[in-house]
Amino acid sequence: MADEINPWSSNQAIDVEKLFSEFGIEPIGPALSDLPEIPYFMRRGIVVGQRDYRQIATAIRDKTPFHILTGFMPSGHPHLGHLMVMKEVVWHVQQGGNGYVTIADREAHAVRGTPWEKCRELGKEYLSCLYALGFEGTTYFQSRNERLKDLAFEAATKVNFSELTAIYGFSPETDLAHAESVITQVADILYPQVDRAPAPTLVPVGIDQDPHIRLTRGVAHKMRMFTVEERDGYVSVRSKNAPDAALNAVHKAFAGSKKYEGHVDIRGLPCADVSQKVRSIEIAHGGFGFFTPSSTYHIFMPGLTGGKMSSSIPESTISFYEPEATMRKKVMSGITGGRMTLEEQKRLGGEPDKCSLYLLNLFHMVTDDLELAGIRSNCVSGAITCGQCKKDTAERVVSFMKDFREKMDAAAEKIEV
């Protein structure tokens, strides 16, 4: 049964696996066992990878605090390509996460040259989309969040230019604002733990954002006073830059522990218990006590024109305020996985994994798994023509957009920026 309703292997996933082995991203599957319910974007192979997702799944199961955060660069209108991350955020909020969304206007201004006023307008559109999907939580614009900027400055003490060059390929010609927008994103990811309290934090992103995740995970670690490590038969708590009083407090907190120069060794306790206590001591002594952020990675929905879906290629995507006729036209001229002739289509069937419209249905337009499986099997068996399938998809898109726009408009009234 599971196989029948889970026919969503996609060619993209194979390349993705290669990417994973290079960068140490883990597949999502094994991290899901604690989840009470698996959301469709994980079931359907859209979200494929993760770092440390297990601590999020456990928090959901145990109903303990966690944060969920993502960001949008307001350099173009939001479109279908942005919906996936938004839905991931909303789902995790519904599972008990504290929601945070940052509008990366500093990044848009620094990297794309978007004027501030435009950033504000576009940022508001992203927020309308989020609220239309049911988002609840904290939102902010980078440029207007003073505490974020302070945190970015503090984080900047842990990053040097050779690291930026290694991760992003920055050169001596890269302007300083670009580097600042990077460190601002690091601060975005750590912000919920400063704004509220240290807790596991999930950042759902497309694979292209992984460099930021790697950098931030490194910085979060460097900003800790202590490292806690399981050794052979004991737990070692090492000071990186902890004040003496904090290391003494660790020693005092664990009866029978041994204190040495710069570290305390503790026997007979699970590492997780020690970690928790050490974190609270760190916080009591003015430290950040950060949890290393977790991330998930989704594959990209291909553009209707075949390549990337991007607002800079208008035919590749559909924005939320497009006239109905244009929407239909774009869907009808979308790249499919159909064959050259009708005869071939009937004989060989279509190739849904190569079809931008199938993937549009898989990502957003068909919520029912069985209905989607039906579309897939009709395609593969040649029982349906692309012409008909496109028309059906166009209908779904038009009605989805109509409904979504109404929700966006209702949400927009409530947003003040």
What's phi and psi for 230, nearest 5 deg? -75, 125
Which two structure tokens, joined as six digits, stand for 263? 């570290």
Where does this chain touch ligand SF4 (CB under 6 A) — which range of 76-84, 144-152, 195-203, 386-394? 386-394
Which helix (H) or strand (E) segment is 171 a member of? none
Distance of CA 177 to the CA centre of its chain: 24
Distance separating alpha carbons of residues 104 and 155, to the nearest angstrom:
17
**204 binds, options ligand SF4, ligand TRP, none, Cβ within 5 to 8 A by partner type:** none
**Identity of residue 366:** V
* Touching ligand TRP, residues 184-243 (CB under 6 A): 185, 188-189, 203, 205, 209
Asked if 105 and 143 touch (Cβ cutoff 8 Å), the reply is: yes
Among 71, 81, 123, 352, binds ligand TRP (CB under 6 A): 71
Query: To the nearest whole angstrom, how small is the minimum distance from the Cβ of residue 350 to ligand SF4?
Result: 3
Is the Cβ of residue 202 or residue 375 nearer to ligand SF4 in the bound state? 375
Q: Tell me whether residue 107 or residue 353 sits nearer to ligand TRP (CB atom).
A: 107
Beta strands in 37-97 (DSSP E): 47-51, 67-72
* Smallest separation, CB 382 to ligand SF4 (Å): 8
In the complex, minimum distance from the CB of residue 306 to ligand SF4, in angstroms, rounded to a whole number? 13
Among 219, 250, 384, 394, binds ligand SF4 (CB under 6 A): 384
Residue 303 near ligand SF4 by CB under 6 A: no
Contact present, 352 and 339 (Cβ < 8 Å) = no
Which of the listed partners (ligand SF4, ligand TRP, none) does 390 bind, with a CB threshold of 5 to 8 Å by partner kind?
Answer: ligand SF4
Type of residue at 70: T
Backbone angles phi, psi at 130, to 5 degrees: -60, -45
Tell me which of 93, 199, 309, 389 binds ligand SF4, using CB under 6 A: 389
The mark string for 325-354 relative to ligand SF4 (x by CB under 6 A, - otherwise) is -----------xxx-----------x-x--
Vertex 98 angle, CA 363 and 404, to 5°: 35
Q: Are 76 and 110 in contact (CB under 8 A)?
A: no
Q: Please report how close the Cβ of residue 166 comes to ligand TRP at its closest, in angstroms.
A: 18
Residue 72: contacted member of ligand TRP, ligand SF4, none (CB under 5 to 8 Å, by partner type): ligand TRP
C-alpha 147/C-alpha 153 separation (Å) is: 10
**Are the C-beta atoms of residues 81 and 359 closer than 8 Å to each other?**
no
Measured from the CB atom, the residue of 198 and 337 that comes closer to ligand TRP is: 198
Number of helices followed by number of strands (H, E) in the chain: 17, 11
Q: Where are the strands (E) in 240-361, listed by range?
A: 258-260, 263-267, 294-298
Among 8, 53, 72, 400, binds ligand TRP (CB under 6 A): 72
The reply to whether 139 sits near ligand TRP by the rule CB under 6 A is: no
Q: What 8-state DSSP symbol labels residue 268? A: S
Q: Which residues bind ligand TRP (CB under 6 A)?
A: 69-73, 102, 104, 107, 185, 188-189, 203, 205, 209
Contact residues: ligand SF4, CB under 6 A: 336-338, 350, 352, 355, 357-358, 379, 384, 386, 389-390
